[in-house]
Chain A
């Protein structure tokens, strides 16, 4: 812990003005809350959450589509994180149908092989980190009764949208270590703001904050890597090539955001046979937010979970109102678990 204490001390010396840093990774938020990183930061420095939880940013229309598939008799395979996320009418947990939790797409393909008489749909959510395994599986040409409901999102377009809006008043970004492990960090050089790739130990995060603070103090805006033991500049090129072979960027809606250009992925024409949306003629309906949940503001860095009047009262991990209280990477769930106040 000496290292962490030293970094925190140095950070206090460097920060002499108000700084707001955003991270875009739920695992970062979990580490920050678990290890109490905010408690050792100088009072002028604030870390806010961005759209870093793939489950949280999946729109209700896509959850409804997944529920519809289960109701229509398909075996729906999903990550456990997504099970309790409320759609506009119900969730996958409560829908009347065959919904199975899987750790990854390979298990869903196995289920399809074991049930040739039934249609099996894998709900394919996640950022750039879950895409390579999906792509690697689809090129192996799984059985005809298998398809995926594509709900993937890409991090850089969302960051670009956030910076263009300017509503969160940000001074820099902690870049997601796992995403960068796959994608590298060259893509982030287009953004002229201080950015540092961070790992997930408390010292990793403190180091990235120190590097950001130094950039801000020196008036610099560049991408640095505080996670070199895993992340390289170019990333995992083989994984990227697989992604490009199977998917193409598409304009998609994020929960709490409007449609962001080229922020999602769609299957290329040669893989359309595996596209559940086309196979079952699904339409994603635009759902208007009705309840008092402020997940959308939390995901845009405009509010803390504890700002929500439902937090810990009407909205708990057992009875979630919004998606941020469901996933282990959701800010509300994390703050509730570690009793983070602010």
Chain B
């Protein structure tokens, strides 16, 4: 709300600030939504693609490089994080957290997930499946 309204006074010809109006336009709000939508769609597409390739394709053929293994582990952690809908922010009095933080919620202690946690919990994830 930072658009200044200035009006020239007819009596003395002096330009004075009369107030403000909003400079936040509909386009700006909508573009933010579009950006979020496009980003979400991209994440879903890539997530689905890599999830399929790494979970099915590579394991089926027994091919898994170090990089692939790490990506798969993180993927498992992400899914594990979704499986345990714990409160991730532990804010006092909070009961309405809407956005889980997958990597932080992966470790059972509530601590940030370490590489060890990632592998360990990936194994647990397999038992759930």
Contacts and interface: CB of A to CB of B under 8 A. Distances in A.
A329 B1 CA distance: 7
Residue from B18, B88, B92 with most neighbouring chain A CB atoms (10 Å): B18
Interface in A260-293: 290-292
Contacts of B92: 292
Contacts of B94: 290-292, 310
B63 interface: no
A81 interface: yes
Interface string A218-241: 000000000000100000101100
Interface residues of A, number: 46
Nearest to B100: A314
B18 A236 contact: yes
A11 interface: no
Contacts of A318: 32, 36
A257 interface: no
B95 A313 contact: no
Interface in B63-115: 88-99, 101
A27 interface: yes
Nearest to A83: B29
Nearest to A134: B19
A132 B24 contact: no
Contacts of B17: 178, 181-182, 230, 236
Nearest to A26: B1
Interface of A: 26-27, 30, 54-55, 79-81, 83-84, 93, 100-104, 126, 129-133, 136, 178, 181-182, 230, 236, 238-239, 290-292, 308-310, 313-314, 316-319, 321, 327-329
